[in-house]
Amino acid sequence: MTDTLQSADIQLIQRIIPHRYPFLLVDKVVDIDGYQSATGIKNVTMNEPHFQGHFPGKPIMPGVTIAEALAQTAAVMVGVAMDMADRDLLVYFMSIDKCKFRRMVVPGDVLSMKVQTVRGKPGGKVWKFSGVATVEGEMACECEFTAMMDLPKE
């Protein structure tokens, strides 16, 4: 890993994590600083299936999907740093802590998700992250989460 910040477009994201529509919740990941931090970008659009029922006439992105988008950003960050493209990486939530929602996220918003590694090391299975999701600089969600990396056998 060099000192140069890396990024992942949608094609690389899909080569790292198995999520697909309607549950792929990050469009690109930028400013990947090794295992330390990254920023995910999610363009929120009206055609996403959760808006049909959450809520009719007042579409709001469910908070749990914001937390999931933060986790997907962290998984891509670690996947890029570990060169996991096309390696069948699976990542599972173990816990979500200190989760707070501060602003509604609605169609037309661009969700910016900054994640940082709190604990974890290359080759390790259990990682802890902190994340903050914002829209136009205004906090929408903050949380800490722990995930297990199901690393493929060599």
Query: What is 124-136 written as a DSSP string?
Result: -SEEEEEEEEEET
Tell me what pLDDT residue 26 has.
Answer: 98
The two three-digit tokens of residue 154, written as one number = 């060599």
Q: What is the pLDDT of residues 123-148, one digit of tens each?
A: 899 999 999 999 999 999 999 999 99
Q: What is the pLDDT of residues 22-38, one digit of tens each?
A: 999 999 999 999 999 99
- Please, are residues 135 and 142 in contact by the beta-carbon 8 Å criterion? no
Q: Which of 8-17, 111-120, 145-154 has the lowest mean pLDDT?
A: 145-154
Q: What is the pTM of this model?
A: 0.96
Q: What is the pLDDT of residues 36-65, one digit of tens each?
A: 999 999 999 999 999 999 999 999 999 999
Alpha-carbon distance of 144 to 59, in angstroms, equals 26
54 in active site:
yes
The one catalytic residue in 15, 19, 50, 54 is: 54
